[in-house]
Structure 1
Amino acid sequence: MSIRLSRRASALALAAATTLVLASCSSGSADTDSGEAAEEGGWDVTLQLSWIKNEEFAGEYIADSEGYYEEAGFDGVELVAGPSTGVAELLGGTADIALSDAVAVGTAIANEDAPLTIIGATFQANPFTILSLADGANLATPEDLVGTQIGVQDSNLALFQAFLAANGIDEGDVEVVPVQYDPAPLTNGEVDGFFAYTTNEAITVELAGNEITNLELAQNGLPFVAETVVVTDETLANERDMLKAFLKAEVQGWSDAVADPQLGADLAMETYGADLDLDPEKTLRGSEAQNLLVTSDETEENGLFTISEELQSATIDSLAGAGVEVTADELFDLSLLEEMYSENPDLVDYAG
């Protein structure tokens, strides 16, 4: 039995031995293993977002504004802006659920024995890229990185190092320049490349009139899932009804976002990220671009947030190539999503 499965077995045994649900990693007070509680609702949870409140969380905004969370039984879902991988918040008990990436979660499990689990994934392909200017460094292959200066944010440093490792590039061959999230250092010529999202900074630089080159991690050794829904093993063991309700509302929200990218863009600009002064053109383009990552042939067949065995394997191989040793059983548990779709089969056809 794997370490992860042993932890889960212990958590389940503990839950069975007590008459009270342990909720130290959750702010909710409902007995979420109770069918009656699921019907009555009453859950209050904190969702740690991986980024600022731009269009990236269109599905969450729609689930909130359209009442999907409320219909699923939640009194409130607090959306906490990042940037953050969510690992510290989950382990520290300040978040009940986090949106993160498989590398951050897998690294925490492998290196710290962190009791975390991915229960679904918004993005079937991760949006990370090394962005460069076509008339500048024009970084088109991993080998092009050797001898360059790359702007990398602190929160993405481990992921960038994983990318180098996966492509056999020594960290000493690339100079990492600490940057924030504004791509100005790239357009100003201070760095040769910039760690970015294809759905965010890449669009910003392109809209400024630059021809860009994307060196996408998903196409170059790290095809892992991203914007994963992550919880602690304790929450997974003790709050299954709550998590299934959350996944249902998430699928409903993202189904609407896929059908109408303008809706998610408008909610980001006018409500949830109203204080960010988001650019309308960029926000809509980002909303449209991320829908290409949210959907795939597999989601059309199995539903949003699903992670096929093939994609799980590709994610595990990505982590192994970066020196992170973790198994699919240790990283993923999709049983809740399977149960949710079994109980709500109409949600599979999000494009219908």
Structure 2
Amino acid sequence: MNPVYLDNQATTPLAPEVFDAMLPWLKDSFGNPHSPHMMGRKAAAAVEVAREQIAGLLPRGGRVIFTGSATEAINLAMGAARTQPGRNGIAVIDTEHAAVRDTALWYGTQGFETRLLPVDPQGLLLLEELEASLGPQSALVGAMLVNNEIGVIQPIERIAAMAHRVGALVLCDAVQGFGRIALPQQADLIALSGHKIYGPKGIGALWVRDGIDIPPLIHGGGQEQGIRSGTLSPALCAGLGAAAQLCAERQDADLAHITSLADKARSLFADWTVNGSLDQRYAGNLNIRREGLDVARLMSDVRAVAFSAGSACASGSGRPSHVLAALGLEPAAIKSSIRLGFGRYNNVEDVERAAGLINQAAEKQLS
């Protein structure tokens, strides 16, 4: 029997429709989309169709730039801070993904003033702290739509309004929210990833509001609007486009299905404490803890369920979760926390089986 897969924040399975959309560009239609001949033009047309499919889920008045990942998209977006004359202030929420947080801290070594904004015990940004950090020097504010570890949804529109009052740009890491919930209409830069929405790994995108200048991160042949040199993969672009269109078509049904799974899981893990806001959260992410539990041992004991103790990107670092630490949790509480991620292809039987195995192993360990 295959393991129950409940780690949809780390990655999602490839949708069958996405596989079908990619296949032609991996076989006979292998032309370079930057070539002028018929095969190249055909591949280029597929890239542009995908771009429009992705744009359909994004605000109007902007452009989509393909990247190799959301991390690349975020690094590209952060370069916008360099284009704000007389401004050197960067503020990001302390619970941001490392792609934003660590990049912002690196900018702090390059002549920028970087500030990590604290959250309350529910994981929500303390807006008064943001207000205090903003001023004429502010260049960019980074705010995640849905937190990858605890699922908390930040008030991006309010954050954007505050940032725009002082002329700062707003970068939204929408990796965990794109295709799942409504996107903020006031963000200036939005990053997304293919493999979080039942699309392929190895591709992401950055949406840039019209009028915003983005310096190139990768130099070379000038492909992808002169911003991101390198040959695009029509297969990956088509896969991301198909995944985005499928999300648009299924968004309401997916959310209803995943919410029902989350409600079931909450009832089966009634003895556990939820990390993060109970109300301002995406239902597909359930981060819970149980006092005294050793999660590393739990994961070893429950091999029949694929779940995690936090971000896949930090799983090998040995560092405790900076997200849970920002909530004020002690190290012991952090080490007793697990993350369950529900997706389109899970069902109630998956949740029941996983809960039974995890609870059984937890009881055995605690006894």
TM beyond 0.5: no
Normalised by the length of structure 1, the TM-score is 0.31
Structure holding more helix per residue: 1
> Considering only CA atoms, is the larger Rg found in Structure 1 or Structure 2?
2
